Chain A
Amino acid sequence: MDAILIEGLTKKFRPGWPGLPSVIALAGLSLSVRQGEIYGFLGPNGAGKTVTLKILLGLMRPTSGSAELLGKPAGDVEVRRRIGFLPESPYFYDYLTAEEFLSFYGHLAGLDRAHVGRRVTQLLDLVGLTEARTRQLREFSKGMLQRVGLAQALIHDPELVILDEPMSGLDPIGRKQVRDLILSLRDQGKTVFFSTHIIPDVEMICDRVGILVKGKLLATGRVDDLVSHGHTQSVEIVCEGIDAETVPDIRDASTRVLRQGRQCLVVLPGPKRLEEVLAAIRACGGTLVSVTPQKGSLEELFFKQQAGPTNEQAERKA
């Protein structure tokens, strides 16, 4: 059983005023998230990430299509006992203290009194808010709210954690803590599904990603696969003692040659002719300083996707 299974989901918003066009937020989205994995849901602003998550949590009803969480249809009340959710830029009851706030959600999740107390202490510690536990949320900074929001999502020890842009509003240390937290959730066997438009976060921790553009999933798979298959990886060679520009073999095989003092930088479009170039360098009496394959980043892929899928990518989707 998949942790999340979405099939042909569409969501159309009727216009707020007659005559205006309606908005199609989701246009037949299908995806699945396996149990125990960290799945990054990547997409530019307005792609439909938040709408998808709202449908999963039963906050919105889809126009058509279906979504299942842990084998139950989205909107099922009981299954939410096993799910934790952090909405985008969360707003909470600001008249509560951090402790009261977490207890409230603990009780709503159906935990008994003693259990709630224990979990509140644990989670305040986990998100680093133990000191602020008796302060009202109205005094909290944006990052502190994000942290207490995360704690709220985890108070009942859910199997499936759904987070809408969990890193937004956090400082670099906070981002790292959230990444570590997500990784530790996976170590405990939980499934994490989170949306973001920040690519390095995804590259660092996700098992799989899905790229959502204009309400459609344009690519999905392991980060490595998407990155290496999506486009060619270039290789950078640094050598000493020769003028690489003057060697025909090197010049032909490279896309760029740069001289910097005694060193030359040679950029190859791919690893295919690497051996050939290395041999040519040695043959001319040059010394090799370094060979660095340039791993393409998800970012390049992301921008390419937004520009419109190429045939190759469309095929892979199929």
Chain B
Amino acid sequence: MSYLKPLFSHPKLPKNKLGYTLKEYEGSLSTLCAGCGHDSISAAIVRACFELSIEPHLVAKISGIGCSSKTPTYFLGNSHGFNSVHGRMPSVATGANMANKELVYFGVSGDGDSASIGMGQFVHVIRRNLNIVYVVMNNGCYGLTKGQDSATADRGSKNKSGSVNPFEAIDLASMAIELGASFVAQSFSGDKQQLIPLLKAAIQHPGFAFINVISPCVTFNNNPGSTKSYDYVREHIEATSALDFVPVKKEIRVNYAEGASAEVGLHDGSKIHLNKLSMDWDPEDRISVVNALQNAKVKEEILTGLLYVNTDWKDLSRTLNITDSPLNRLKESDLCPGTEELQHINEGFR
């Protein structure tokens, strides 16, 4: 068993604008099961950050507990990280975000971590529109504790031991839209072509960006009868759109399948190009999105791609009017306004 990654890399590995190669965005060698979908998501995050030329030291990865929550060790090894308590990632991420809004935040969670023990925190962080990329690596089970059904396991889905799940599944994407998430997407760990541009758009989105990624657990939930297996997902996947993320000022048009095309602008000037595959759906209209999701459910399809985006809502730091400069850079003169100003403030309360 190898514990270390070889130090050598391809001598012709491309470099990004910062002069870094993918290597500078990788983490240590994964200890997850071979073939775990979570590893592919890690690789997609590595690539998205590399392609956006994000400074690794300006990223913070916050996670809960689970195989999914372990992944921050396996990507962005040069970034900040906090492996918090089961289901409590959102509060730690909120605190960090309020203290320093200059960083790119990844909230990394699992279906157990977010839809069971962490449900309370999950719904509130959405309501508040925290500026974070919130990734749920959704395998329909508690992988780390040996594969018990999770709250996102579909009713009727069979697990490895043969028992059939009798409960209705929580649909995290619908729920996020309902609760007012400003960016909601769904994807599949086995489809990097879709996942990478989604991640790039989510990183650039100023507010809560939720991506529910179906990510097969090869060890406990990849059996026939499971609705989160590689085979099942590949057979039932349906994309809303073929999309490409276009960073600021760089107009690249990708050729995708024919169909109507839409363009969503982000405030920093970047754009998301969408070539619609599914009709009667408009990513800026919540009702059409909820309809599309419900229709897909009836047809036993897994709808993937960018589902909903709204760039007008204020994120938490703007709502609370948090200082732009990180707390660790505030000097005494910023924090202590002086006697005169203090008196002035006190006057206001009399």
Whether chains A and B associate is no
> A residues bordering B, Cβ < 8 Å?
none
> B residues bordering A, Cβ < 8 Å?
none
